[in-house]
């Protein structure tokens, strides 16, 4: 059955730390492996070069030994006949006396494999060693004889050390005395070279391991730095976020209180006074009816008119809080109704141009643009001193744009409260939530507010779309 591993819940900070540290660890690991491989390759080339130089020095030393030996016996061998036993004995005595260093000696084998001279290993003399093989399976004596019969050359093999009897690697230079059918040579052990090479390789490996250790320490320090930096930034961002949250909460409370105050003022200054007038009119009508006064109908008509004004005021307040036309007909008709009401209330010439969206904007975008238009018109009414407002709403390839321009005195001449108030901040926050942009251009000749919603908030187009232009003028 499948094994289900438990998933570890990670916080945002832990994910951020992993996201920052994992590439660092992978990069450092790759660098460490590459450095180690390059270091080993370079060191191996140097070690092989050193080994080659040392072995060539040993071979040159062997050739010198053989040359010196040849100078010692050649005056005998050069004039002797192939069957001159006395000359052979004399030459063998010369080779037997050629002992150098702690392990060096000359040897002589005939072409059948019989040892004739071996001064440091005398037990081999007069024995046939044709089938002698070292620990690696190399037929050593056969190699000596084949090399000698070929002229001269080097043979690398294992051979027991005379001092210890243990096999060690040896390089032997072999030449021949062809008229006597002898293979003559001398060798030198290269275990010191192998030890030097092994020590060099061990030193290289130790340096590579130290490099890995240094890289590991540096990586750990970097990870600790990343962790501490992330912890510091996380604490700092949390403090900033808490401060912003407190500020935002306070601004929300302020906006709620401001909206409640506005509604309360409108209810008190508008509907409340109208209803009081209706009450007085009905009361007067009741008294006139009771007294048979013919003016009762006049006061009743006046009360009915006041009641109609109250109904219209309730509708206006309700529309400001949440316009039903926005949900029923869409953003274009809602802003058109807002412009109509603004013009009739303020007597400011208002022009509204749009392209029918057919509800192509999602609900969040429609509400945001409507509230921006509402806030902008409120600012114009309160602070701009404008005589004309142009509103333009249209969709395009990048999304949708709402543009509101007035010919007022601009923000530079408006009150400080208007500039620093919550209105523009609310507009900006609505656009930030949608991922859109808000541009405010102000001069002495007027102010332009342009809000753009990205294409992600546009719904798929409907068939048979058409373009109309609507204008609301004074």
CA distances from residue 357 to 361, 369, 373 in whole angstroms, order as listed: 7, 13, 17
Better-scored residue on pLDDT, 379 or 108: 108
Provide the residue count of the chain: 474
What is the pLDDT confidence band of residue 143, given thresholds at 50, 70 and 90? very high
Better-scored residue on pLDDT, 19 or 451: 451
Q: How would DSSP label each residue in 393-454?
A: EEEETTEEEEEEEE-S--GGGS-HHHHHSHHHHHHHHHHHHHT-EEEEEEETTEEEEEEEEE
Residue 412 pLDDT? 63
**What are the residues whose beta carbons fall under 8 Å from the beta carbon of 247, sequence distance 6 or more?**
none
Residue 461 pLDDT? 62
Residue 50 pLDDT? 76
Residue 3 pLDDT? 52
265 HSE (CA, 13 A, CB side):
6
Domain extents for the chain?
80-189, 329-457
Residue 266 pLDDT? 66
Residue 111 pLDDT? 92
What is the pLDDT confidence band of residue 358, given thresholds at 50, 70 and 90? low
CATH class of 329-457: alpha beta
Asked if residue 376 has pLDDT above 50, the reply is yes
Residue 299 pLDDT? 77
Asked if residue 2 has pLDDT above 60, the reply is no
Residue 130 pLDDT? 92
Residue 473 pLDDT? 37
What is the pLDDT confidence band of residue 421, given thresholds at 50, 70 and 90? low
Residue 159 β-bridge partners: 168
Residue 81 pLDDT? 84
Residue 384 pLDDT? 77
Contacts 24+ apart (CB under 8 A), 86-92: 88/180, 91/177, 92/116, 92/117
From CA 29, how far away is CA 251, in angstroms rounded? 50
From CA 366, how far away is CA 187, in angstroms rounded? 99
Residue 474 pLDDT? 32
Strands 388-396 and 349-354 turn out to be parallel
What is the pLDDT confidence band of residue 139, given thresholds at 50, 70 and 90? very high
Better-scored residue on pLDDT, 322 or 239: 239
Asked whether the beta carbons of 118 and 125 are under 8 A apart, the reply is yes
Fold of the 80-189 domain: Beta-Lactamase (3.30.450)
Asked if residue 415 has pLDDT above 70, the reply is no
What is the pLDDT confidence band of residue 311, given thresholds at 50, 70 and 90? confident
Q: Percent of the chain scored above 90 by pLDDT? A: 6
What is the pLDDT confidence band of residue 348, given thresholds at 50, 70 and 90? confident
Place of tokens 């274009």: 332
Asked if residue 5 has pLDDT above 60, the reply is no
Helices (H) and strands (E) in the chain, counts: 11, 11
From CA 39, how far away is CA 200, in angstroms rounded? 13
Q: Give the closest residue to 405 by CA, choosing from 349, 337, 326, 321.
A: 349
Asked if residue 55 has pLDDT above 90, the reply is no
**Which of 192-206, 307-321, 342-356, 382-396 has the weakest average pLDDT?**
307-321
Place of tokens 């209105």: 423
Better-scored residue on pLDDT, 265 or 162: 162
Tokens of 432: 């930030």
Residue 347 pLDDT? 84
End-to-end CA gap in the chain: 79
Residue 168 β-bridge partners: 159
Asked whether the beta carbons of 373 and 335 are under 8 A apart, the reply is yes
Residue 9 pLDDT? 65
Place of tokens 């013919």: 294
Mean pLDDT confidence for 426-437: 83
Residue 82 pLDDT? 83
From CA 437, how far away is CA 8, in angstroms rounded? 39
**What are the residues whose beta carbons fall under 8 Å from the beta carbon of 204, sequence distance 6 or more?**
39, 40, 43, 44, 47
Better-scored residue on pLDDT, 310 or 359: 310
What is the pLDDT confidence band of residue 419, given thresholds at 50, 70 and 90? very low
Q: Vertex 55, ends 156 and 205: CA angle to 5°?
A: 105
Tokens of 311: 């109904």
From CA 459, how far away is CA 204, in angstroms rounded? 67
Q: Percent of the chain scored above 70 by pLDDT? A: 85
From CA 274, how far away is CA 105, in angstroms rounded? 135
Asked whether the beta carbons of 302 and 349 are under 8 A apart, the reply is no
């Amino acid at each position: 059955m499948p094994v289900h591993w438990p998933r570890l819940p990670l916080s945002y900070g832990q994910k951020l730390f992993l996201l920052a540290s994992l590439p660092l660890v992978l990069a450092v690991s790759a660098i460490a492996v590459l450095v180690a491989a390059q270091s080993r390759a370079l060191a191996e080339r140097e070690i092989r070069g050193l080994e080659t130089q040392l072995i060539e020095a040993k071979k040159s030393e062997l050739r010198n030994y053989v040359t010196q030996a040849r100078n010692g016996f050649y005056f005998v061998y050069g004039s002797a006949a192939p069957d001159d036993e006395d000359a052979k004995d004399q030459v063998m005595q010369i080779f037997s006396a050629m002992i150098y260093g702690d392990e060096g000696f000359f040897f002589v084998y005939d072409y059948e494999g019989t040892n004739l001279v071996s001064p440091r290993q005398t037990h081999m003399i007069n024995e046939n060693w044709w089938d002698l093989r070292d620990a690696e399976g190399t037929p050593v004596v056969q190699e000596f004889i084949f090399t000698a019969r070929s002229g001269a050359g080097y043979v690398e093999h294992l051979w027991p050390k005379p001092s210890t009897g243990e096999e060690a690697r040896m390089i032997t230079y072999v030449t021949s005395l062809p008229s006597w059918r002898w293979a003559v040579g001398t060798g030198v052990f290269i275990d010191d070279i192998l030890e030097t090479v092994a020590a060099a390789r061990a030193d290289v490996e130790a340096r590579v391991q130290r490099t890995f250790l240094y890289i590991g320490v540096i990586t750990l320090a970097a990870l600790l730095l990343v962790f501490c930096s992330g912890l510091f930034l996380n604490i700092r961002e949390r403090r900033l976020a808490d401060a912003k949250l407190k500020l935002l909460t306070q601004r929300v409370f302020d906006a709620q209180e401001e909206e409640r105050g506005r509604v309360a003022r409108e209810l008190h200054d508008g509907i409340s006074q109208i209803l009081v007038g209706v009450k007085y009119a009905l009361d007067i009508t009741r008294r006139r009816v009771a007294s048979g006064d013919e003016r009762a109908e006049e006061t009743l008509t006046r009360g009915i008119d006041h009641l109609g004004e109250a109904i219209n005021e309730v509708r206006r307040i309700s529309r400001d809080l949440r316009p039903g036309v926005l949900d029923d007909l869409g953003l274009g008709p809602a802003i058109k109704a807002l412009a109509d009401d603004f013009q009739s209330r303020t007597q400011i010439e208002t022009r509204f141009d749009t392209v029918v969206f057919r509800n192509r904007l999602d609900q969040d975008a429609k509400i945001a643009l409507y509230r921006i238009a509402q806030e902008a018109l409120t600012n114009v009414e309160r602070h701009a001193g404008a005589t004309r407002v142009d509103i333009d709403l249209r969709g395009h390839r990048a999304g949708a744009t709402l543009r509101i321009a007035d010919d007022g005195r601009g923000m530079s001449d408006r009150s400080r409260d208007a500039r620093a108030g919550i209105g523009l901040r609310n507009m900006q926050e609505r656009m930030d939530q949608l991922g859109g942009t808000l541009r405010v251009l102000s001069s002495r000749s007027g102010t332009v507010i342009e809000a753009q919603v990205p294409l992600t908030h546009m719904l798929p187009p409907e068939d048979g779309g058409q373009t109309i232009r609507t204008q609301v003028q004074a």
